[in-house]
């Protein structure tokens, strides 16, 4: 990565969005993008449009619900919140991620064999 | 899994709320962008910079929208919709092609839909009772002569009923005439005499009152159930009529119930309006009651199988009873030791099933011919569209996509055609159904309903696949570069070959259809031309009911004498008589007899159809007296018993002998025992059965010596027969006001009615053949005309190089001839195979067997002539090509 930023791994964006919504419920797409930016300390390169796509995907699956509301500076925005099914899905994806991450971490720590 | 389902549902919802969600999405993206821009502005960027930065940070807006759009709805559905819109646009741009294709399809699908509606009503539609497939028809199986099913007599029926362990109910029925009086004018209604449990057997709840009780089969009870229509029309829908006494046939009947609206039994006789119990036949009268005559076989039987019992099991049990009855009553039952059980639905359709099969096959051929025409049209058009297809392919459309587009166009055409066909079908039904009248059971029930609709849609799918197949396969072979470079002309060869094959195939199918139509027409002509043995014009006939309660035999005879005398005295009436059954009305009663010189035991006696007539009957109907004398008024109960037989009867039972003066002893009597009767006259063979050309042997009893019923009155008139109707009615009323006159018809009408089923079949298949001929001519014309246009430069060159115009003319004609004769050659094989099959079938349906070979020649001739006319126009155009112009276009 030339500027030291990482691409968001395929499939992890859903997890990031769900996790963000668990912490800040309800929130609009812009807010979610900001939150991910903060948490990642600007290390993720993210086209914010993909957050919108992820939100549509999640609401089609019934994991988030949405309604229109007003943002902090009184702008019309769509607010998303986690549904019960979404919470379960977050749980599943978290465990899954931890398992995968653990495996990868072990793999990387293992001493190279000559 | 669940989340997949949710996604799917939300996609479907989105598909139908596109505009709405698209707007929402736009708003959401917009608000996101503005918030981003706001942030950049607050970091010190100017307005313009902030906007750009926001867009960069957000990513491609349009891409995202497209991505979301595709993800949100059902893209497949949208593609189909887009294809359909495109297809509609294409069709609108080629109105001539569309009109021709839709019209052809409408003809093919319309005819098929109409025929399906008829076949469905006659053959397939379930009987209108609960669990109709458990209903069977039950009959005796007669093993003497040609084995056949036959009606039962009451005593046999009772024995089957009491021994029955396989049927829930076993019910007998027979038609009877009833006259109702006392509520205004006396009317005649057709009724049925049934055993008590008809309604429980059918599982039909009455609208009012109750059904019959077992005790109401006892002689002396007179009960009736009315049809809803009779109750409404004659009794004014009066609910109090149930339980009341009503004068029927001169006796007081108690009305016990009213059947529900649209209830029909038997389903093949919609005129039945009243049901009574067999107590009517058990009543003691001058005659031995019908219920005690084991030899009087008058009953049809319907039964409902018990749950779990198969037809075979039922037959086995009934057969064992029949065998026991044959052993116990050999005189009546010797040749009836087994039974015949058949699903009631099949009995109702009866012989019509075969005609229906012919209709379906014929109309399907027509559909195939229509499909070939459309395929040919589509092929010709696809040549014009070559460039379009090539451009689309060059722009990245895969062959699959182009083929899908072609099939979609086919489907749209097919559905349009099926829509037009449905309209045509309901119009056809309106025109053709009256031709069949009530001569084919249940045919009047034919309507365009949901089943017919589904059938027509299925046909649309089937045909569109059929006629899109050839063009779609051609697309698969398109050479992109070449067709873009030089247009269509270079690669049309394959297409033209395919179109030629289609035309030849059409002609082959057409020959089969035409020769089938020829067969039917020949059979019909044979029927029309046969010698009926009587002169139907100008004769008026009508029926009347003598109420049994008031008219015993002697009174009935006196009434008939007075009636005929007064009728003969009417101005315009030349002669009058009465008889039953009339010619062309089918065989009704056959009675066995013993010949004096060759006496045999009861079961081995010969039998023949019989009729009962009054003096004047033969003269009135124009039946020739060949030998001996007609009946006279003096042939009454006191005079020596006599008979008149027809020539066929004499030839059959007295071959090589003189029948006149011979004496036979028929089983039919006035209740005073069988008598030896002398044959005093021999008359010509009047056709009794509507089908066939063979004469029907029959013997005639004088009404005064066998007074079972007066039958139909016949009047030969000097004026148009219908004009005598009111005078005749007045004569009857002058004798007795309570006697209803009904079924007033001319003998012509009666004979025509008997010819209705073959006429119906012939007219339908004939019209299909005419349409087919037209389609074939159009198909051939299309192929030739197109090839002449395509070859204009070539033909121009030929003419320029010295070819005579007649040579050009014959070139085109020769091409046509090759196509036509190839088709005829193939079709001939099919038609010959078909003719064997048709001959047997026609013999079964109409009793005639037309000769095949000449018909095949005629059918081929019709095709050749039609093709010649179709080929002449393009040929003449080819011959009259303007050389300069033709060469300039090159």
Is B563 within a domain?
A: yes
CA B34 to centroid of chain Cα atoms: 73
Has residue A112 got a pLDDT over 70?
Answer: no
- Residue B31 touches chain A, beta carbons under 8 Å: yes
Per the model's pLDDT, the better-predicted residue between A5 and B570 turns out to be B570
Phi and psi at B167, nearest 5°, equal -110, 145
Distance from CA of A55 to the nearest CA of B (A): 10
Final residue of a structural domain among B737, B771, B787: B737
- Residue A50 touches chain B, beta carbons under 8 Å: yes
pTM here? 0.76
pLDDT value for B488: 46
The kind and range of the H/E element at A40 are none
Whether B38 and A59 lie within 8 Å, measured CB to CB:
no
Q: Are residues B254 and B399 in the same domain?
A: no
Q: pLDDT for B716-760, tens place per residue? A: 999 999 999 999 999 998 988 888 888 899 998 888 887 888 888
Look up residue B120 and give its DSSP letter. Answer: I
Is B93 within a domain?
A: no
Has residue B491 got a pLDDT over 60?
Answer: no
Instruction: Characterize B565-589 residue by residue with b for buried, 16 or more Cβ atoms within 10 angstroms of its Cβ, and e for exposed.
Output: ebbeebeebebbbbbbbbbbbeeee
Average pLDDT (B192-197) is 94
Has residue B467 got a pLDDT over 90?
Answer: no
Written as six digits, the tokens of B872 are 């002449």
Whether B3 and A62 lie within 8 Å, measured CB to CB:
yes
Rg of chain A in Å (alpha carbons): 16
Q: Are residues B252 and B370 in the same domain?
A: no
CA B69 to centroid of chain Cα atoms: 53
Please, which residues have CB within 8 angstroms of residue B106's CB and are 6 or more apart in sequence? Answer: B417, B420, B421, B423, B424
pLDDT classification of B485: cutoffs 50, 70, 90: low
Q: Are residues B659 and B565 in the same domain?
A: yes
DSSP of B508-558, one letter per residue?
HHHHHHHHHHHHHHHHHHHHHHS--SS--TTEEEEEE---TTT--HHHHHH
Is B113 within a domain?
A: no
Residues B276 and B224: beta-carbon distance below 8 Å: yes
Instruction: Point out the residue among B7, B28, B35 whose CB comes nearest to the CB of A52.
Output: B28
| Separation in Å, CA B880 to CA B778, B799, B873, B876, B886 | 21, 10, 11, 6, 11
Please, which residues have CB within 8 angstroms of residue B862's CB and are 6 or more apart in sequence? Answer: B514, B773
Phi and psi at B834, nearest 5°, equal -65, -35
Distance from CA of A47 to the nearest CA of B (A): 5
| Separation in Å, CA B867 to CA B303, B419, B863, B872 | 56, 30, 6, 8
| Separation in Å, CA B185 to CA B272, B411, B543, B727, B738 | 19, 60, 16, 18, 8
pLDDT value for B837: 83
Residues A58 and A20: beta-carbon distance below 8 Å: no
Domain span holding position B681: 551-737
Work out the number of other CB atoms within 10 angstroms of the CB of residue B26. 12
Q: Are residues B828 and B733 in the same domain?
A: no
Instruction: Give the least confident one: B1-15, B315-329, B633-647.
Output: B1-15
pLDDT value for B478: 62
SS3 B564: helix
Size of interface A-B (CB pairs under 8 A): 76
Instruction: Point out the residue among B35, B36, B64 whose CB comes nearest to the CB of A52.
Output: B64
Q: Are residues B612 and B661 in the same domain?
A: yes
What span, in angstroms and rounded, lies between the C-alpha atoms of B82 and B156? 71
Burial bucket for residue B234 (CB in 10 Å: 0-12, 13-18, 19+): buried
Estimate the crossing angle of helix A12-23 against helix A29-39, to 10 degrees.
100
Contacts of B27 in chain A (CB under 8 A): 76, 78
Range ranked top by mean pLDDT from B61-70, B193-202, B829-838: B193-202
Partner residues linked to B593 by β-bridges: B666
Contacts of A48 in chain B (CB under 8 A): 32, 36, 57-59
Range ranked top by mean pLDDT from B182-186, B287-291, B615-619: B615-619
Instruction: Point out the residue among A33, A53, A73 whose CB comes nearest to the CB of B68.
Output: A53
Please, which residues have CB within 8 angstroms of residue B1's CB and are 6 or more apart in sequence? Answer: none
Is B19 within a domain?
A: yes
- Residue A48 touches chain B, beta carbons under 8 Å: yes
Half-sphere exposure at residue B405, Cβ-oriented, CA atoms within 13 angstroms? 23
pLDDT classification of B493: cutoffs 50, 70, 90: low
| Mutation site, B21, B31, B73, B75, interface A, largest A CB count within 10 A | B31
Q: Are residues B357 and B331 in the same domain?
A: no
Give the residue on A whose Cα is nearest the Cα of B33: A30
Number of domains chain B is built from: 4
Residue whose pair of structure tokens reads 């048709």 in the numeric block: B838
Contacts of B60 in chain A (CB under 8 A): 47, 49
Final residue of a structural domain among B10, B45, B73: B73
Average pLDDT (B67-92) is 77
pLDDT classification of B679: cutoffs 50, 70, 90: very high
Contacts of B29 in chain A (CB under 8 A): 49, 52
Instruction: Point out the residue among B34, B59, B60 whose CB comes nearest to the CB of A75.
Output: B34
Per the model's pLDDT, the better-predicted residue between B489 and B27 turns out to be B27
pLDDT classification of B17: cutoffs 50, 70, 90: low
Per the model's pLDDT, the better-predicted residue between B72 and B108 turns out to be B108
Has residue B185 got a pLDDT over 90?
Answer: no
Q: Are residues B386 and B443 in the same domain?
A: yes
Written as six digits, the tokens of B306 are 């018990």
Residue whose pair of structure tokens reads 């005129």 in the numeric block: B271
Per the model's pLDDT, the better-predicted residue between B145 and B521 turns out to be B521
pLDDT value for B473: 74
Contacts of A92 in chain B (CB under 8 A): none
- Residue A52 touches chain B, beta carbons under 8 Å: yes
Written as six digits, the tokens of B781 are 């014309």
Whether A60 and B60 lie within 8 Å, measured CB to CB:
no
Is B613 within a domain?
A: yes
Written as six digits, the tokens of B694 are 């063979």
pLDDT value for B307: 92
DSSP of B309-324, one letter per residue?
--HHHHHHHHHHHHHH
Whether A59 and B10 lie within 8 Å, measured CB to CB:
yes
Distance from CA of B401 to the nearest CA of A (A): 28
pLDDT value for B325: 93
Has residue B848 got a pLDDT over 50?
Answer: yes
Has residue A3 got a pLDDT over 60?
Answer: no
Final residue of a structural domain among B73, B104, B121: B73
Give the residue on B whose Cα is nearest the Cα of A49: B58
Supply the mean pLDDT for chain B.
Answer: 86
Burial bucket for residue B562 (CB in 10 Å: 0-12, 13-18, 19+): middle
Instruction: Point out the residue among B3, B28, B57 whose CB comes nearest to the CB of A61.
Output: B3
Contacts of A47 in chain B (CB under 8 A): 57-60
Q: pLDDT for B496-517, tens place per residue? A: 788 888 889 999 999 999 998 9
Partner residues linked to B299 by β-bridges: B152
pLDDT value for B492: 55
Has residue A78 got a pLDDT over 80?
Answer: yes
Q: Are residues B203 and B316 in the same domain?
A: yes
Written as six digits, the tokens of B815 are 């091409």
Is beta strand B167-181 parallel, antiparallel or unpaired with respect to B187-194?
antiparallel
Distance from CA of A110 to the nearest CA of B (A): 38
Q: pLDDT for B372-392, tens place per residue? A: 888 888 888 877 777 777 777
Instruction: Point out the residue among A30, A61, A89 whose CB comes nearest to the CB of B32.
Output: A30
CA B46 to centroid of chain Cα atoms: 85
Identify the CA nearest to B418 among candidates B115, B112, B149, B726.
Answer: B112
B 52-81: CB under 8 A from A: 57-61, 63-64, 67-68, 71-72
Per the model's pLDDT, the better-predicted residue between B8 and B711 turns out to be B711
Give the residue on B whose Cα is nearest the Cα of A86: B3
Whether A49 and B59 lie within 8 Å, measured CB to CB:
yes
Is B183 within a domain?
A: yes
Of all residues in chain B, the percent with pLDDT exceeding 70 is: 94
- Residue A30 touches chain B, beta carbons under 8 Å: yes
Has residue B580 got a pLDDT over 90?
Answer: no
Please, which residues have CB within 8 angstroms of residue B422's CB and are 6 or more apart in sequence? Answer: B109, B110, B113, B448, B452, B453, B456
Estimate the crossing angle of helix B493-529 against helix B352-384, to 10 degrees.
150
Average pLDDT (B157-183) is 90
Domains along the sequence of chain A with CATH:
6-109 (1.10.10.10)
Work out the number of other CB atoms within 10 angstroms of the CB of residue B485. 10
Q: pLDDT for A11-50, tens place per residue? A: 688 888 888 888 887 888 888 888 888 887 777 767 778 8
Q: Are residues B372 and B471 in the same domain?
A: yes
Residues B674 and B667: beta-carbon distance below 8 Å: yes
Q: Where are the alpha helices (DSSP H) in B179-248?
A: 198-202, 228-235
Whether B36 and A77 lie within 8 Å, measured CB to CB:
no
Average pLDDT (B261-265) is 90
| Mutation site, A46, A60, A88, interface B, largest B CB count within 10 A | A60
- Residue A105 touches chain B, beta carbons under 8 Å: no
Instruction: Point out the residue among B10, B35, B64 whose CB comes nearest to the CB of A75.
Output: B35
State the sign of the Cα–Cα–Cα–Cα dihedral B796, B801, B807, B811.
Answer: negative
pLDDT value for B291: 87
pLDDT classification of B787: cutoffs 50, 70, 90: confident
Range ranked top by mean pLDDT from B92-101, B608-617, B747-756: B608-617
B 790-819: CB under 8 A from A: none
Per the model's pLDDT, the better-predicted residue between A90 and A114 turns out to be A90
Has residue B246 got a pLDDT over 70?
Answer: yes
Distance from CA of B375 to the nearest CA of A (A): 45
Contacts of A75 in chain B (CB under 8 A): 31, 34-35
Q: Are residues B504 and B407 in the same domain?
A: yes
Instruction: Point out the residue among A48, A59, A60 whose CB comes nearest to the CB of B36.
Output: A48
Average pLDDT (B527-536) is 87
Whether A28 and B27 lie within 8 Å, measured CB to CB:
no
pLDDT value for B805: 83
What span, in angstroms and rounded, lies between the C-alpha atoms of B757 and B691? 10
Residues B631 and B705: beta-carbon distance below 8 Å: no
Instruction: Point out the residue among B36, B57, B64 whose CB comes nearest to the CB of A53.
Output: B64
Instruction: Characterize B193-221 residue by residue with b for buried, 16 or more Cβ atoms within 10 angstroms of its Cβ, and e for exposed.
Output: bbbbbbbebbebebbbbebbeeebbeeeb
Distance from CA of A98 to the nearest CA of B (A): 23
Whether A53 and B28 lie within 8 Å, measured CB to CB:
no
Q: Are residues B302 and B401 in the same domain?
A: no
What span, in angstroms and rounded, lies between the C-alpha atoms of B621 and B600? 35
Instruction: Point out the residue among B2, B6, B68 whose CB comes nearest to the CB of A56.
Output: B68
- Residue B7 touches chain A, beta carbons under 8 Å: yes
Is B295 within a domain?
A: yes
Whether B71 and A75 lie within 8 Å, measured CB to CB:
no
Contacts of B38 in chain A (CB under 8 A): 73
Written as six digits, the tokens of B28 are 């959401």
Residues B644 and B700: beta-carbon distance below 8 Å: yes
- Residue A70 touches chain B, beta carbons under 8 Å: no
Contacts of A78 in chain B (CB under 8 A): 24, 27-28, 31
- Residue A97 touches chain B, beta carbons under 8 Å: no
Distance from CA of A52 to the nearest CA of B (A): 8
- Residue B10 touches chain A, beta carbons under 8 Å: yes
Q: Are residues B647 and B787 in the same domain?
A: no
Tell me the helix, strand and coil percentages in chain B, rounded to 5.
60, 15, 25
pLDDT value for A2: 42
Is B123 within a domain?
A: no
């Amino acid at each position: 990565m030339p500027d030291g930023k990482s691409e968001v791994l395929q499939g992890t964006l859903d997890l990031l969005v769900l996790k963000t919504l668990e912490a800040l419920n309800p929130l609009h797409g812009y807010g979610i993008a900001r939150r991910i930016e903060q948490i990642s300390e600007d290390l993720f390169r993210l086209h914010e449009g993909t957050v919108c796509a992820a939100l549509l995907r999640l609401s089609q699956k019934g994991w988030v619900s949405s309604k229109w509301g007003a943002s902090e500076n009184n702008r019309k925005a769509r607010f998303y919140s986690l549904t019960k099914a979404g919470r379960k899905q977050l749980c599943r994806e978290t465990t899954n991620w931890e398992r995968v991450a653990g495996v990868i971490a072990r793999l990387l720590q293992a001493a190279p064999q000559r | 899994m669940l989340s997949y389902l949710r996604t799917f549902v939300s996609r479907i919802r989105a598909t139908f709320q596109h505009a709405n969600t698209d707007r929402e999405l736009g708003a959401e993206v917009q608000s996101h962008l503005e918030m981003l821009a706001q942030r950049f502005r607050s970091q010190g960027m100017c307005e313009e910079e902030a906007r750009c930065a926001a867009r960069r940070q957000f990513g491609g807006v349009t891409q995202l929208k497209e991505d979301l759009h595709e993800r949100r709805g059902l893209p497949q559905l949208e593609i189909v919709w887009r294809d359909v819109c495109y297809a509609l646009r294409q069709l609108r741009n080629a109105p001539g092609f569309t009109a021709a294709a839709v019209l052809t399809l409408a003809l093919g699908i319309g005819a098929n839909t109409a025929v399906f509606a008829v076949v469905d009503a006659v053959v397939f539609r379930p009987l209108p009772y609960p669990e109709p497939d458990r209903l069977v028809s039950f009959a005796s199986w007669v093993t003497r002569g040609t084995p056949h099913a036959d009606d039962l007599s009451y005593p046999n029926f009772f024995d089957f009923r009491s021994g029955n362990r396989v049927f829930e109910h076993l019910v007998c029925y027979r038609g009877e005439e009833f006259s109702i009086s006392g509520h205004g004018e006396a009317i005649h209604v057709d009724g049925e005499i049934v055993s008590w449990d008809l309604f429980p057997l059918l599982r039909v709840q009455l609208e009012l009152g109750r059904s019959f009780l077992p005790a109401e089969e006892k002689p002396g009870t007179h009960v009736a159930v009315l049809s809803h229509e009779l109750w409404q029309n004659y009794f004014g829908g009066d609910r109090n009529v149930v339980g009341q006494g009503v004068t029927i046939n001169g006796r007081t009947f108690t009305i016990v119930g009213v059947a529900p609206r649209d209830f029909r039994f038997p389903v093949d006789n919609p005129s039945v309006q009243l049901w009574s119990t067999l107590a009517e036949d058990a009543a003691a009268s001058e005659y031995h009651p019908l219920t005690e005559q084991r030899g009087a076989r008058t009953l049809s039987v319907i039964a409902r199988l018990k749950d779990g019992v198969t037809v075979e099991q039922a037959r086995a049990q009934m057969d064992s009873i029949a065998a026991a009855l044959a052993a116990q009553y050999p005189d009546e039952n010797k040749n009836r030791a087994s039974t015949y059980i058949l699903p009631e639905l099949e009995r109702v359709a009866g012989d019509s099933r075969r005609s229906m099969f012919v209709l379906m096959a014929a109309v399907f051929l027509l559909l195939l011919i229509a499909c070939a025409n459309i395929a040919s049209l589509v092929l010709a058009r696809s040549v014009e569209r070559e460039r379009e297809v090539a451009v689309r392919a060059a722009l990245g459309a895969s062959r699959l996509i182009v083929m899908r587009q072609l099939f979609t166009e086919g489907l749209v055409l097919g559905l349009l055609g099926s829509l037009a066909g449905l309209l045509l079908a309901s119009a056809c039904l309106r025109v053709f159904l009256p031709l069949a009248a009530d001569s084919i059971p249940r045919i009047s029930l034919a309507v365009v309903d949901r089943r017919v609709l589904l059938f027509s849609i299925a046909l649309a799918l089937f045909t569109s696949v059929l006629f899109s197949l050839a063009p779609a396969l051609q697309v698969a072979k398109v050479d992109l570069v070449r067709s873009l470079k030089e247009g269509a002309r270079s690669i049309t060869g394959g297409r033209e070959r395919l179109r030629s094959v289609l035309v030849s195939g059409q002609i082959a199918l057409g020959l089969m259809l035409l020769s089938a139509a020829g067969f039917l027409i020949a059979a019909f002509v044979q029927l029309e031309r046969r010698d009926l043995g009587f002169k139907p014009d100008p004769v008026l006939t009508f029926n009347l009911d003598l109420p049994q309660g008031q008219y015993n035999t002697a009174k009935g005879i006196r009434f008939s004498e007075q009636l005929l005398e007064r009728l003969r005295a009417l101005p315009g009436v030349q002669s009058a008589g009465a008889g039953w059954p009339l010619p062309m009305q089918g065989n009704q009663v056959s009675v066995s007899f013993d010949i004096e010189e060759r006496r045999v035991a009861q079961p081995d006696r010969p039998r023949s159809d019989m009729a009962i007539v009054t003096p004047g009957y033969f003269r009135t109907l124009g039946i020739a007296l060949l030998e001996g004398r007609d009946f006279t008024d003096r042939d009454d109960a006191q005079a020596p018993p006599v008979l008149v037989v027809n020539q066929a009867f004499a030839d059959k039972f007295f071959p090589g002998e003189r029948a006149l003066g011979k004496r036979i002893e028929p089983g039919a009597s006035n209740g005073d025992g069988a008598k030896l009767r002398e044959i005093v006259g021999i008359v010509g063979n009047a056709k009794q059965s509507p089908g066939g050309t063979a004469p029907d042997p029959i013997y005639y009893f004088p009404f005064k010596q066998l007074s079972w019923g007066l039958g139909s009155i016949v009047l030969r008139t000097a004026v148009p027969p219908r004009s005598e109707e009111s005078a005749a009615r007045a004569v009857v009323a002058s004798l007795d006001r309570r006697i209803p006159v009904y079924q007033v018809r001319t003998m012509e009408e009666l004979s025509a009615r008997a010819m209705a089923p073959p006429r119906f079949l012939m007219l339908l298949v004939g019209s299909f053949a005419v349409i087919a001929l037209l389609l074939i001519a159009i198909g051939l014309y299309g192929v030739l005309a197109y090839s002449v246009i395509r070859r204009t430069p070539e033909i121009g060159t030929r003419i320029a190089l010295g070819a005579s115009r007649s040579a050009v003319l014959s070139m085109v004609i020769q091409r046509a001839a090759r196509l036509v004769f190839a088709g005829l050659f193939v079709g001939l094989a099919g038609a010959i195979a078909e003719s064997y099959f048709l001959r047997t079938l026609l013999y079964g349906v109409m009793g005639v067997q037309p000769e095949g070979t000449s018909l095949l020649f005629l059918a081929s001739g019709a095709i050749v002539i039609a093709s010649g006319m179709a080929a002449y126009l393009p040929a003449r155009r080819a011959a009259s090509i303007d050389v300069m112009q033709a060469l300039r276009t090159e």
